Amino acid sequence: MQLDGKRIIVTGGAQGMGEATVRAFAREGAQVFSFDIKESAGRSVAEKATAEGPGSARFSFVDVSDHAEVTEAVRDAASAMGGLDVLVNIAGVQRAKPAEELTPEDLDFLFDINVRGTVYAGQAAFEVMKAAGTGAILNFGSDAGLNPIAGLAGYSATKGAVMAWTRTVADEWGRQGIRVNSVVPAIATPMTDAGTKDRGDRYSRVPLGGWLGDPERDFAPVMVFLAGDGARFINGQIIAVNGGLGMVR
How far apart are alpha carbons 140 and 159 in whole angstroms? Answer: 8
CB 35 within 8 A of CB 9: yes
How far is 123 from 20, CA to CA, in rounded Å? Answer: 25
Residue 203 falls in the annotated catalytic set:
no
CA distances from 162 to 74, 159, 184 (A): 19, 5, 11
In Å, how far are 3, 53, 101 from 141, measured between CA atoms? 24, 29, 23
Length of the chain: 249
Q: Which listed residue (35, 120, 140, 155) is catalytic? A: 155
Contact 144, 152 (CB under 8 A): yes
Distance of alpha carbon 231 from alpha carbon 242, whole angstroms: 19
Please give the positions annotated as active site: 155
